Structure 1
Amino acid sequence: MSSNNKDLKTCLEMSLKVIRMYDWLLDLYVLDFFVDDHWNKLPSTWRHTFEHMDPQLLGDILSKKPSNTMLPLSFLALIKSIEALTIPRERQDININEKKSTNLDTCKHHPRLKNLFLKHVKLKKRHEISLMAGVVVDTAVQTGCNSVIDFGSGLGHLVRVLAYRDDLHAAGIECQAQLTEEARKLDLELEYTAKKHLSSESVSRLKRPLHFNMTLSTHKQLMGLSLPDYMANYGLIGLHPCGDLGPLLLKQFVECENIKFICVVGCCFMKLSCDGVNRGYPMSDFVKRLDSHLSFASREIACHAIEVYCERLCKGNYEDLKIHAYRAALERMLVEHDPKLRHAPVRSIKHSNTMSFEQYCSQATERLNISLPTSTVAWSRGLADLAQWRRVVVVYTLRLALAPLVETVVLLDRVLFVLEQGLSCEIRPVFDPKLSPRNHIIIAKRYC
């Protein structure tokens, strides 16, 4: 994606125009499918086309596979517009200029320590940390900075890699004290293992990361953080900071000369505040002047895993998607029984081909302390709704097709915000979207 201001503005403006045209689709919650008659909100040509279409074929279409199916021109125009405007999601290989070393007396190169940083780390997080660390180190070298602060550091897996393996001064900021204490214990556990294989001189050079507890509510708080003198200049990193935290970090970066770079991966867009002085969206002056509203429903669907979902459709593994129809059918039953039960917090139940609708309803509502309807009419209506499960899958899939466009608007707004301050900024899809759906890293630098 070009970081040219003019190109970004054009993309943002056109993306929002498309979203405005399809707000009605983005805002269709699956659980309200039968209550609000979602199917009949689709254009008649769409209903005619998708009524009997195998969901597998719909998955192929959204995965850009060749198809001989006749599709409505309005739908084709929408898909082509999404493809043209959306930030590419296919993972890009990153070229890290790494110096080769023959010194095996380090955490990074000792053959007995190659799995040192994998312990306690799940597969998805291993993938993210490995690639994120590479980007951070490369950016630190480019900006002449040897210190980093990770916000939302959790158990400290990323700061341990950056400190012990990559020899950066690193600090982790986490709001949960229990996670911070556990991170410190894992640091000591790692050092204990390293001491078994490294020389005492190498051990003495290890950089133990710092860990702080802080709940960040405004970007000004960072200025009061007590850091050692050797961390006077640093880079900010955030691996999937939730909601407004990502925007707060970007605001801190543009305001503070001592922050030399930022590498941040967005997450949980539905938790963004969209009003007030410290709002997380919109951020750029340009987008603020547009009709830029993004509903909660649109920001929530933008956080779903579209590649994994489409792959399931393409492989024909969509039987378990019937659970959406079960939930929507239950919603109608509950609302007709008592309107106050609309959007009641029912239990999430996994689909099973052996589970009847009555069994599902019983398990899903067992914590609500309510009596389910006993009339045969209500249950017959529910079973009739279930027979339309393909329609439910179609509407959800059509909403999901628009999701990357909403994410594009949120992310490019952030990039443009930084560029408006005269700073360097780019966005790159670094993670495998099937493992890590929020896979774009915003990288901004301050050269001096």
Structure 2
Amino acid sequence: MYSQEETLRSTIDKSLKVIRLYDWLLNLYVLDFFVDNHWTKLPLSWQECFQNITPQDLGNILSEVPTKHVLPLSFISLIKAVKSLSLPRDKISNKNKIGLLLSEDICNGHPRLKNLFLKHVKLKKRHEICLMSKVVSGVAVESKCDAVVDFGSGLGHLVRVLAYNNNLYAAGIECQSQLTEEARRLDLQLEYTASKHLSEKNMSNFHRPIHLNMTLTSNTQLDEVSLPETMKSYGLIGLHPCGDLGPLLIKHFVNCDKVKYICVVGCCFMKLTCEGKDCGYPLSEFVKGLNNELSYVSREISCHAIDIYLERLRKDNYDNLKVHAYRAALERILVDYDPKLKHAPVRNIKHSDTMTFQQYSTQALSRLNIPLPACFARGEADLRQWRRVVTLYTLRLALAPLVETVILLDRVLYILEHGLSCEIHPVFDPKLSPRNHIIVGKRL
């Protein structure tokens, strides 16, 4: 019977070995499809197979729908390996409907107050806040700790739920002062509305969250945060902290006895620092001893929404995905015109079925102070290969869950190596919130 750490080490080791075999695919940046002739870099058996497969068929294949196509054995083996090694992405329970999650026990169950926490919040954020607050409040009870600090709290939507609805002492820390001021205003607005329906006694039981400003550059800074007596010990949470911020929070949890638990959902892995003493990846001693390199482009694609993308392919709704081919065709024209323009920051343009390549190029280059290249005929010719561009992007995306798995399990293993309890679970609906895994560490 393998221990949790042994299982994680084995999974990470095998995952990195698969990634090493397919670095060549992960590192084929779609932007350079025509410049570097990426299609010819696929194995011949893959070229022959995929040039006759529609994007819809490829979406079905990667979604494990039976196919009549004869697939290369190397491709089948890769997909099976990614599936068996990657963290599961289906959320734990799909019984709760989003609209009901925040209507239970809101502000003492008053029916007129059930939507207080839904104001100013978009659907995706509602979903995340609802489920994150349930996880955090449950872990707080298990840890016998009724205080929580949310780093990167933004407008304070999550801490507002945890404080007013889950009765926790909550603090939000945000680097942008204007967001902090708006969060305080929203707190007062909530209390004003609640006071019209609740008794003074019920109102007096509310825990108003506190909001602080700080830009975190090291995990030791959190030791200097001035918190009230009710928060001598606390849990630390982060809902999609960007880049190195997630690892910084994890390091603080590991090194500070005051932090009783952590709930963190990672994001923006391409912004991770991967070298130096204080790098964000790798964290664990085990992974540091492996051939652990994850390139920028591999970490960047690991943040893409594979579930949403495959659904679009399967539903034959991929015309908007042609924008990858438009940008790649424009890249070849720019590089031919002036090699110094390679990867120039052109304007993002949403693709339209009625948009010509010349129209796209004119809009995309509107912010660059360069004369518009006139050789649109070559771009139009390249665009006849748009299905190949979509196919290559899809093949790279098939590896994305494995890269994300390595990054996340490295964090879990780092916590375990320090003798603390740690688990990881898919909690959000991946079609609403693609980075849907919550790492939960506890100091019991």
- In the alignment, is the contact (CA less than 8 A) between 2:238 and 2:263 conserved in 1? yes
Q: Which residue of 2 aligns with 1:303?
A: 303
Q: Which residue of 2 aligns with 1:360?
A: 360
Q: Which residue of 1 aligns with 2:7?
A: 7
Tell me the CA shift for residue 379 of structure 1: 2.5
* Structure 1 residues 274 and 108: alpha-carbon distance in aligned structure 2, compared to 1, 3 A threshold: farther
Segments of 5+ residues of structure 2 without an aligned counterpart are 97-103
Structure 2 residue 385 is the aligned partner of structure 1 residue 388: yes
* Structure 1 residues 132 and 108: alpha-carbon distance in aligned structure 2, compared to 1, 3 A threshold: farther
SS of equivalent to 2:423: strand
Q: Which residue of 1 aligns with 2:316?
A: 316
Amino acid in the other structure paired with 1:411:
L
* Structure 1 residues 108 and 325: alpha-carbon distance in aligned structure 2, compared to 1, 3 A threshold: farther
Instruction: Within 5 Å, give how 1:72-83 maps onto structure 2.
Output: 72-83=72-83
Q: Which residue of 2 aligns with 1:264?
A: 264
Q: Which residue of 2 aligns with 1:288?
A: 288
Q: Which residue of 2 aligns with 1:369?
A: 369
Q: Which residue of 1 aligns with 2:248?
A: 248
SS of equivalent to 1:431: coil
SS of equivalent to 2:160: helix
Structure 2 residue 48 is the aligned partner of structure 1 residue 48: yes
Tell me the CA shift for residue 108 of structure 1: 4.1
1:418 alignment partner, one of 403, 407, 415: 415
* Structure 1 residues 93 and 43: alpha-carbon distance in aligned structure 2, compared to 1, 3 A threshold: same
Tell me the CA shift for residue 372 of structure 1: 2.2
Q: Structure 1 stretch 401-410 or stretch 320-329: which is displaced more?
A: 320-329
| Alignment partners' CA distance in 2, 1:238 and 1:66 | 39
- In the alignment, is the contact (CA less than 8 A) between 1:346 and 1:367 conserved in 2? yes
- In the alignment, is the contact (CA less than 8 A) between 2:105 and 2:165 conserved in 1? no
SS of equivalent to 2:171: strand
Q: Which residue of 2 aligns with 1:101?
A: none
Count how many residue pairs are aligned between Structure 1 and Structure 2: 436
Tell me the CA shift for residue 105 of structure 1: 9.8
- In the alignment, is the contact (CA less than 8 A) between 2:302 and 2:404 conserved in 1? yes
| Alignment partners' CA distance in 1, 2:304 and 2:165 | 33
| Alignment partners' CA distance in 2, 1:109 and 1:379 | 63
Amino acid in the other structure paired with 2:430:
P
Encode CA deviations 1:21-63: one digit per residue, 9 max, x unaligned: 1111111111110001100010000000001211100000111
Encode CA deviations 1:93-121: one digit per residue, 9 max, x unaligned: 2999xxxxxxx997141111111110001
Amino acid in the other structure paired with 1:141:
V
Instruction: Within 5 Å, give how 1:153-192 maps onto structure 2.
Output: 153-192=153-192
* Structure 1 residues 353 and 105: alpha-carbon distance in aligned structure 2, compared to 1, 3 A threshold: closer
Instruction: Within 5 Å, give how 1:107-146 maps onto structure 2.
Output: 107-146=107-146
* Structure 1 residues 349 and 113: alpha-carbon distance in aligned structure 2, compared to 1, 3 A threshold: same
Encode CA deviations 1:283-326: one digit per residue, 9 max, x unaligned: 00000000000000000000000000000000001112111111
Structure 2 residue 442 is the aligned partner of structure 1 residue 445: yes
Q: Which residue of 2 aligns with 1:406?
A: 403
| Alignment partners' CA distance in 2, 1:106 and 1:154 | 22
SS of equivalent to 2:317: coil
- In the alignment, is the contact (CA less than 8 A) between 2:174 and 2:213 conserved in 1? yes
- In the alignment, is the contact (CA less than 8 A) between 2:106 and 2:114 conserved in 1? no
| Alignment partners' CA distance in 1, 2:251 and 2:206 | 32
| Alignment partners' CA distance in 2, 1:127 and 1:165 | 16
Amino acid in the other structure paired with 1:37:
N
* Structure 1 residues 171 and 223: alpha-carbon distance in aligned structure 2, compared to 1, 3 A threshold: same
- Percent identity of equivalent pairs: 66
Encode CA deviations 1:318-370: one digit per residue, 9 max, x unaligned: 11211111110000000000111111111111111111111111111011121
- In the alignment, is the contact (CA less than 8 A) between 1:282 and 1:410 conserved in 2? yes
| Alignment partners' CA distance in 2, 1:171 and 1:165 | 14
* Structure 1 residues 105 and 82: alpha-carbon distance in aligned structure 2, compared to 1, 3 A threshold: closer
* Structure 1 residues 325 and 427: alpha-carbon distance in aligned structure 2, compared to 1, 3 A threshold: same
Tell me the CA shift for residue 373 of structure 1: 2.5
| Alignment partners' CA distance in 1, 2:94 and 2:305 | 22
* Structure 1 residues 187 and 77: alpha-carbon distance in aligned structure 2, compared to 1, 3 A threshold: same
Q: Which residue of 2 aligns with 1:429?
A: 426
Encode CA deviations 1:261-303: one digit per residue, 9 max, x unaligned: 0000000000000111111000000000000000000000000
| Alignment partners' CA distance in 2, 1:122 and 1:326 | 31
SS of equivalent to 1:107: helix
Tell me the CA shift for residue 258 of structure 1: 1.3
* Structure 1 residues 105 and 75: alpha-carbon distance in aligned structure 2, compared to 1, 3 A threshold: closer
- In the alignment, is the contact (CA less than 8 A) between 1:147 and 1:170 conserved in 2? yes
SS of equivalent to 1:171: strand
- In the alignment, is the contact (CA less than 8 A) between 2:154 and 2:174 conserved in 1? yes
Tell me the CA shift for residue 381 of structure 1: 1.7
Encode CA deviations 1:60-95: one digit per residue, 9 max, x unaligned: 011111112110000000000000100000111299
| Alignment partners' CA distance in 2, 1:52 and 1:320 | 20
Q: Which residue of 1 aligns with 2:28?
A: 28
Q: Which residue of 2 aligns with 1:100?
A: none
| Alignment partners' CA distance in 2, 1:361 and 1:166 | 51
| Alignment partners' CA distance in 2, 1:3 and 1:271 | 32
TM-score (norm 1): 0.95
| Alignment partners' CA distance in 2, 1:64 and 1:108 | 46
